[in-house]
Every structure is written in C-alpha cells, then in structure tokens.
Amino acid sequence: MIPARYGATRFPGKLMQDLGGKPVIVRTYEATKDTKLFDEVYVVTDSELIYKEIELSGGKAIMSIKEHDCGTDRIAEAVVDMDVDIVVNVQGDEPFTSKSGLKQVLSVFDGPDADKIDLASLMTEIYDWKEISDPNSVKVIVDKDNFALYFSRSPIPYPRDKNAAVQYYKHKGIYAFRKKALLDFYKLPMRPMEAAEKIECIRYLEYGKNIKMAISNTQSIEIDTPEDLIRANKVLKDDKNITINNMYRNFPMVPKVVFGRGSFDQLPSILAPQRKDKAPFIYLVDDVFKDDEVIIDRMNLRFNDKLIFVSAEEEPKTEQVDTIVKSIKGEFTYSPSGIIGVGGGSVLDLSKAVSIMLTNKGSSSDYQGWDLVSTKSVYHVGIPTISGTGAEVSRTTVLTGPDKKLGINSDFTTFDQVVLDPDLTASVPKEQWFYTGMDCFIHCVESLNGTFLNEFSKSYGEKAYDLCKEIFLSDNLSEVESRGKLMMASWHGGMSIAYSQVGVAHAMSYGLSYVLGIKHGIGNCIVFDHIEEYYPEGVGLFKKMKDYHNIELPQGICNNLTEYQMDTMIDIALSLVPLWENALGDDWKSIMTRDKLRELYLKM
Ligand code: NAD
Ligand code: ZN
C-alpha cells in the first residue's frame, strides 16, 4: 500500500511532480510493482488527481474516505475488508524504492522470531556525525535481536566518550504490518513521546508492540524538496535503480604534471610564477632525506621559504596536520605561496591536508568525509619518492583522526602540480618497494573485479595491472625502466580507484591498521595473501610475486588479540560499506558475516 496525500507540507504537490516524464507517484507505484514481491499493489489517496493518474497509467488506486493524520491510518482504512496477511507501507515519495530493502523487511516474517513480530521496518547504517546529529534523520536503537528500543531525532545512544565504538542507524520509512497490528492501531490516540518527537512509529512502542528492524544498505532518494527532485531526475537519466555511491563522478584531475628522470630540477622554474611577493613556499619533506644535501640543494629554497622534515614512521594523523598548520600560521603573516610535499603516500597526504587547512577553519578532523571542504586550498605540489599508493593523483588524503580513519575527499584535495621523477625512488628499500608497489597491484585487482567498474576506470586499471605484472614478474627490465613503469602504474591505479572503488583487502587492512597500527602497504599484503576466495587470479599472481622477490610476510598477527580488539577490527572493516558493495555486491552482508571476517583475520 502506498499512501499518497496530495498536500505535503514541505513540498506541496510533490507526488505529482514530473520525474523523467511521469509523476513521482506513478514512478513509485511502478517500482513497487516491478519488485514482484507483492500479490497486490495499491495507491491509497485523498486526491482525485492522484487517483485518476494511477488509474490512467494502468495501476490500482483506492480513494480513502476519511481525513487521516498519517499514512498508516489511511492504509488501515483501506485494508479493513481485505483478505490479507501482511501489509507493507511504501512511501509515495520514494520512487527508487529498492527491491532488496523491501525483500529484507518482508524476510523477517520468515525468521525464527516471526511470532513475536507485530511489524517490521528498515534501518540503515550511518557514520557521518553531521547526519547522526541532524534532527531530520530519525535514529533508531535496537536490542540484540534487532527489535526497536526507541526512535529519536537526537543522536541515540549519546556517546559520552567520543571514540565509543557504536553503530548508528537511521530509520527508513518502510513498514510491514501484520494486518491485526495495523487494525489494532487504527485511530489509537497519539501519546506524548510521539507528539514530542513527531515520529509516527513511536506510537507502536508506546502501546507495547514489537518492531523488528531489518538492516538495509542500499541508499535511496526521498523526494522532500525541489532539490531532491532535480537530483532524482539526474539519477533517472542514467539508470533506474542506480544507488548514490554509483552516481556520476565529476572529479578534477591534476592539471599539471611533469614526468621524467631528472624532472625534479624543474621545480624552481615551475614554482617561480606561483610565488606571491612575501609569501613563502613551505616544503614538507620525508625525513629520510634529512641528510641528503643533494636533494635539498636541488629544491633551491629562496627568501623566507621553509623546509619542514616530517616522519613517515606513522601514518598521518589529523592532530599532526593541525600542529603543522598552527606552526606555519604562527610563523608567517602571509598565507604561503604553496605547499610542496616530497615523500611517499604519508607525506603526500599530509601535504594535501595542510594545504586545505591553511584556508579552512577548525580542525582537519572536521573535514574527514566527502566534500566537506568549502574553501579552495593553497597551491600545492606533490613529488612522490616511492611509487604505488596513487596518492599523487587521488582526490583524497587519508588521515587517522580522534574517532575515525577516513580521507578528506574533496575537489580541493587534488594536487595543482605533480612532479614525477622516477630517479627519486631509487633509494627505496626493497621490502618497502614491494609493499607500496603491491598497494598499486591490489588497487587494480579490487577495481577490476568490483561491481562499480566502468570503462573509464577499467582502462586505467588494466594498464596498471599489466605494468605491475611486467615489473614484478619479469626480469627483462632494467632498474631504471622498472622505476619509470612503477611510477606510471601507481598513477593509473590511483585513477582507476578514483572512478570505482577498492575492495576486500583494503577494508580488512583498515581494521589491521586501526587496531594494530599496521601500515597500509604491508597491511594490504598480509590480507591479500589470504583472500584467494575473492580474487583467485590476483592472489595467485601476488603469491608468485612474493616468492619471486623473497618477501616474507609476518604470520599469526591476530592470534593474541583480545575479544574486544577482534570486535573492533571487525567493526572497522564492516564500516567501510562502499568497499564491500563494490567487492561483493548488494548482498555483501550475507557473504561477509562477522564470523567469516573473524575466520579470515585468524588466518593472518
Ligand atoms: P610511506 O609514505 O609511509 O613511506 C614508507 C617508508 O618509505 C617510510 O619509512 C619513508 O620514509 C620511506 N621512503 C619514502 N621514500 C623513500 C625513498 N625515496 N628512499 C628511501 N625511503 C623512502 O609509504 P607509502 O606506502 O607510499 O604511503 C602509505 C600512506 O599512503 C598511508 O598513510 C596510506 O593511508 C596512504 N595512501 C593514500 C592514498 C591516497 O589516495 N591519498 C592511497 C593509498 C595510500
Ligand atoms: Zn591502497
């Protein structure tokens, strides 16, 4: 049943707005019917206009006779005389209602506790504190069997300690009722908690009913505002059932890049036109080069330019970014002419973050997430001295913050200029060369085997994959050739994931890094070695590469974890929803269970 009231308060007449040539309500009706999950689908409405529109399009509609406060009462009235077991309330303003969500909400009635269920509804995991604290998104807390305890517009539970490991859920307005429960509630008076929060389903709790919550991980688009409608129209143009994660990506690329052995010497002439009067260039340089006078000399610092050596011992932290920014602001009256990052993925990420934070207020941890940066960063240049991460080309800077490890992913993150000089990587120790190089190989495998793959991403991924095979499995290359090729493989691998996504190894490696502090490159290798189940060909090649270069990986690293550590590791890995969706598809949760993850971690 799709309750459809004409006069929505926030966006009047929204159900009759045009969405790709048909009214929103017709789209919702058709999408619901197309799921083939229901014996009958009806629109129940108070509006003749909507009624006629549905009939005209060949659908079934029912006029509700009475005035109703809410959609549930409207459908209750309509089913009183129907011979029906379970009634699902589908929101009229959710034209992209997905089959998997509806299927999940229905499936609970086949589960072991079906007898206890009066009604079922959906929830979806949320991570962004902005969304968690937004009163427009209704949060729900559940007991161990996923029965709802309470719904609220406040963040529940309230995290006294900022890093409390708790999963937040947002309620999605789809309900499946047993007919009896629906009729029991018809016209029951509203009670104070519902009235205070203005959340309809609190009424069921206030009258002691059991609401079973199913988890859905597909995102949908609700039409609440005219802007939503514009967005929905865009989505429709591409694909009817596309999810938000897969929408078009309109990303900036690095606008200027110089390549070649010795190109590092171009730096002074590249920077000269960017210098703004008294504003210095700040060089953030990996401290492995601290005593390398030749490299320092080649940078040719001028005037009040400043060189800061940074350690890549640990992966970049938000705190570290904030400290560097503070010291630059404290020392110079003028905002710098630019930031020059010289080092591996760690230093490149740090440089990107510093350049953003010089023009944006607050702490860098406020910007971990997607598109949270509002002001353009200062000019910044990336000069990789080790190849593989793709950080030189990517639109993100991965940071460990007080409560999460997440990138600042924005249009302003991408470097303005990159210098690719393969000779700078000549001094990388062999093990490190392998680990970081494998980051690139794994990017390709995960991107090429992912469900988000498209031709754009594939063309980069395939090239990088072939380059990696040549670099790591043949002996026809000179060291010089090999360094140049790996530098380009890193670039292409980075491009490939920017337009698709990584997968199983990255999700699990984030868990290792968060709990055990294991660095990205080696962490990926440790995981990848044990996941042939998901990437048979890629892992097969990886093992060959490992043997070919006599690389020994640590073993048994999860053997002595406490239960709490293991749980945290699993939580962190599972929280990376887009990575799993890419790797295993919409049904990933049934494939990658907590038990399965534990089993895999214990192998490592
Ligand atoms: P890294 O920057 O952590 O450096 C690894 C080690 O190599 C360090 O000890 C460093 O001092 C040393 N090193 C670097 N260049 C050297 C050289 N020329 N000679 C000798 N030693 C050298 O390693 P990485 O693997 O390049 O970067 C990992 C980081 O990149 C992680 O923090 C990860 O989160 C990040 N990352 C970012 C992206 C992105 O898109 N932004 C993608 C993947 C990984
Ligand atoms: Zn990576």
- Which of 342, 394, 432, 434 to mutate to test ligand 1, by most ligand atoms within 8 A of the CB atom? 432
- Which of 285, 430, 518, 520 to mutate to test ligand 1, by most ligand atoms within 8 A of the CB atom? 520
Edge-to-edge strand order for the sheet containing 306-310? 256-259, 417-420, 380-384, 338-343, 281-286, 306-310
With a 6 Å cutoff on the Cβ, whether 338 touches ligand 1 is: no
Ligand that lies nearest to the alpha carbon of residue 398, given by its number in the listed order: 1
Task: Determine the pLDDT at residue 233.
Answer: 74
Residue nearest to atom 22 of ligand 1 (CA): 428
Ligand that lies nearest to the alpha carbon of residue 519, given by its number in the listed order: 1
* DSSP H or E stretch at residue 287: none
Residue with tokens 């390709």: 444
Task: Determine the pLDDT at residue 235.
Answer: 67
In this structure, are residues 216 and 104 in contact, taking their beta carbons and an 8 Å threshold?
A: yes
Expressed in angstroms and rounded, the spacing between residue 512 Cα and the centre of ligand 2 is 13
Expressed in angstroms and rounded, the spacing between residue 572 Cα and the centre of ligand 1 is 22
Task: Compute the chain's Rg from CA coordinates.
Answer: 27
Expressed in angstroms and rounded, the spacing between residue 505 Cα and the centre of ligand 2 is 9
Ranking 3-17, 227-241, 398-412, 453-467 by mean pLDDT, the lowest is 227-241
Q: Which residues contact 366 (CB under 8 A, 6 or more apart)?
A: 372
Q: What six digits make up the tokens of 304? A: 């009040």
Q: CA separation (Å) from 172 to 91, 139, 588, 596?
A: 10, 9, 20, 28
Of the candidates 370, 152, 170, the residue with the CA atom closest to the CA atom of residue 251: 370
With a 6 Å cutoff on the Cβ, whether 288 touches ligand 1 is: yes
Q: What is the rounded CA–CA span in Å between residue 450 and residue 500?
A: 8
Reported as a single tens digit per residue, the pLDDT across 75-99 is 888 898 899 999 999 888 888 777 7
Q: Considering the chain, what percentage of its residues have pLDDT values greater than 70? A: 95
Q: What six digits make up the tokens of 503? A: 């997968």
In this structure, are residues 78 and 71 in contact, taking their beta carbons and an 8 Å threshold?
A: no
Q: Which amino acid is at 188?
A: L
Q: What is the rounded CA–CA span in Å between residue 393 and residue 417?
A: 10
**What is the pTM assigned to this prediction?**
0.66
* DSSP H or E stretch at residue 4: strand 2-4
φ, ψ of residue 155 in degrees (nearest 5): -70, 120
Q: 455-473 vs 479-498: helix axis angle to the nearest 10? A: 150
Q: Across residues 189-207, what is the average pLDDT?
A: 91
Expressed in angstroms and rounded, the spacing between residue 493 Cα and the centre of ligand 2 is 9
Task: Determine the pLDDT at residue 412.
Answer: 95
The SS3 assignment for 560 reads coil
Question: What are the DSSP calls for 299-341, one per residue?
Answer: H---TT-EEEEE--SS--BHHHHHHHHHHHHHH-SSPPSEEEE
With a 6 Å cutoff on the Cβ, whether 408 touches ligand 1 is: no
Question: What are the DSSP calls for 114-183, one per residue?
Answer: GGG-SEEEEEEEE--HHHHT-TTSPEEEE-TT-BEEEEESS-SS--SSTT----EEEEEEEEEEEHHHHH
Residue nearest to atom 38 of ligand 1 (CA): 391
In this structure, are residues 321 and 399 in contact, taking their beta carbons and an 8 Å threshold?
A: yes
With a 6 Å cutoff on the Cβ, whether 200 touches ligand 1 is: no
* DSSP H or E stretch at residue 394: none
Question: Residue ranges of the alpha helices (H) in 336-478?
Answer: 345-357, 430-448, 455-473
Q: Across residues 124-128, what is the average pLDDT?
A: 86
With a 6 Å cutoff on the Cβ, whether 390 touches ligand 1 is: yes
Question: Residue ranges of the alpha helices (H) in 207-266?
Answer: 226-238
Expressed in angstroms and rounded, the spacing between residue 316 Cα and the centre of ligand 2 is 14
Query: Could you identify the atom of ligand 1 that is nearest to the CA of residue 344?
Result: 2
In this structure, are residues 391 and 316 in contact, taking their beta carbons and an 8 Å threshold?
A: no
Task: Determine the pLDDT at residue 219.
Answer: 61
Contacts of 404-408 with CB under 8 Å at 24 or more apart are 404/127, 404/368, 405/510, 405/513, 405/514, 405/572, 406/368, 406/369, 407/368, 408/352, 408/353, 408/356, 408/364, 408/367, 408/368, 408/369, 408/372, 408/373
Reported as a single tens digit per residue, the pLDDT across 324-348 is 999 999 999 889 999 999 999 999 9
Q: What six digits make up the tokens of 293? A: 């006078």
Ligand that lies nearest to the alpha carbon of residue 514, given by its number in the listed order: 1
Pairing of strands 417-420, 256-259: parallel
Residue nearest to atom 28 of ligand 1 (CA): 345
Task: Determine the pLDDT at residue 66.
Answer: 67
Please list, residue by residue across 472-496, b when 16 or more beta carbons sit within 10 angstroms of its beta carbon and e when fewer do: beeeeeeeeebbbbbbbbbbbbbbb
pLDDT band, residue 246 (cuts 50/70/90): very low
Reported as a single tens digit per residue, the pLDDT across 441-478 is 999 999 999 999 999 999 999 999 999 999 999 989 99
Task: Determine the pLDDT at residue 544.
Answer: 98
Residue nearest to atom 4 of ligand 1 (CA): 344
The three-point CA angle 551-555-560 to 5° equals 155
**7 vs 126, higher pLDDT:** 126
Instruction: Evaluate the CA torsion angle 530, 531, 536, 542 in order and state its sign.
Output: negative
Please list, residue by residue across 292-318, b when 16 or more beta carbons sit within 10 angstroms of its beta carbon and e when fewer do: eeebbeebeeeeebebebbebeebbbb
Q: What six digits make up the tokens of 254? A: 């690095």
In this structure, are residues 151 and 200 in contact, taking their beta carbons and an 8 Å threshold?
A: no
Expressed in angstroms and rounded, the spacing between residue 439 Cα and the centre of ligand 2 is 5
Q: Which residues contact 15 (CB under 8 A, 6 or more apart)?
A: 4, 5, 6, 8, 23, 24, 25, 28, 50, 92, 93
Intra-chain end-to-end CA distance of the chain, in Å: 50
In this structure, are residues 6 and 44 in contact, taking their beta carbons and an 8 Å threshold?
A: no
With a 6 Å cutoff on the Cβ, whether 3 touches ligand 1 is: no
With a 6 Å cutoff on the Cβ, whether 315 touches ligand 1 is: yes
Expressed in angstroms and rounded, the spacing between residue 495 Cα and the centre of ligand 2 is 12
Ligand that lies nearest to the alpha carbon of residue 431, given by its number in the listed order: 1
Q: What is the rounded CA–CA span in Å between residue 546 and residue 23?
A: 58
Q: What six digits make up the tokens of 553? A: 């990986």
Reported as a single tens digit per residue, the pLDDT across 371-389 is 888 889 999 999 999 999 9
Query: Could you identify the atom of ligand 1 that is nearest to the CA of residue 497?
Result: 40
Query: Could you identify the atom of ligand 1 that is nearest to the CA of residue 315?
Result: 32
Task: Determine the pLDDT at residue 205.
Answer: 93
The mean predicted confidence, pLDDT, of the chain is 91
Q: What is the rounded CA–CA span in Å between residue 517 and residue 508?
A: 13
Reported as a single tens digit per residue, the pLDDT across 222-242 is 777 777 777 777 766 544 333
Ligand that lies nearest to the alpha carbon of residue 390, given by its number in the listed order: 1
